[in-house]
Amino acid sequence: MERKVEKVIKDIKALKIQGARNIAKAVVNAIILQIQKSKAKTLDELYSELLVVSEALASARPTEPMVRNAVGEIARFAFSQIKTGGVRNAKELREKVVTKEKEYLKKMDENAKALIEYGAKLIPEGAVVMTHCHSSTVTGILKRAAEMGNQIEVFACETRPRYQGRITAKELVDADIKVSLIVDSAMNSFMKKAEICLVGADAITSRGDLINKIGTSTLAHIAEMHDVSFYSAAELYKYSPISLFGNLEKIEERDSKEVWDKPPKGLVVRNPAFDVTAAQYINGYITEAGVVPPQSLFTIASKQLGIEIEKK
């Protein structure tokens, strides 16, 4: 495996690369690099190498269906090309895989652009928005809303223990948006001033439930208490097909030292990275296909993924 690919895996595990979309793009670029540098001489050798590197990248973070959907798509594409005689040798497969992955990256950018436009138009004029963690899609929506002349204000939860909310706050301040960084335990106090909550997504289940950074479900419950709308910005590739068969996304448990480096002897420190927000607390998902209610997400996401599979 290429050293640069190994570094991508390490950076994902260490959260140096974070956010479902950023991780997916890093994974796709890593696959392109590995395949371009591959010394495989036969179709079987190249296909096996593709599967090995894809599995290593996909397993770097357990709760990332966007990555699994991305690597699954390219694996099925490569298998189909070999099976149907679409390629005659490793050179041809290498070229087609690289082209396919570059098309995927382009499609991701197109999806994000469409999603951001839908999201920006959803934000009420002069709204106070509350966010949690960091999502490049969420910050993209808020910056686009500001570009459209919407004088929004943002309360960004700091998101312990890794403080990803600071990234959100800095990005928005740099975009001349009024922002206040708040401690997570102040969600309820500041929710009284908010009109809308906007978060990203790591995964979406077939029931329309949201899997996102720990604290998201608390935010959603508090939003409901104050009658504040709650939306998640999520590309449809974040839909988790395995949940349809009763398999739930694995909730990653991170190193306890992120919470307390040297705790008292005998103390157990728990550090789950994500939680699950039930569909009933979510007003809608902002997607590249528009704003979708949780109850309709399964149908729309399955159709989208199905179309992609048929194209192979």
Query: Radius of gyration (Cα) for the chain, nearest Å?
Result: 20
Q: Residue 276 forms beta bridges with which residues?
A: 211
C-alpha to C-alpha distance for 153 and 146, rounded to whole angstroms: 10
C-alpha to C-alpha distance for 227 and 196, rounded to whole angstroms: 9
Q: Residue 211 forms beta bridges with which residues?
A: 203, 276
C-alpha to C-alpha distance for 171 and 193, rounded to whole angstroms: 22
What DSSP character marks residue 84?
Answer: T
Question: Looking at the annotation, which residues are catalytic?
Answer: 133, 202
C-alpha to C-alpha distance for 114 and 290, rounded to whole angstroms: 8
130: nearest Cα among 160, 174, 172, 176: 172
70: nearest Cα among 54, 81, 82: 54
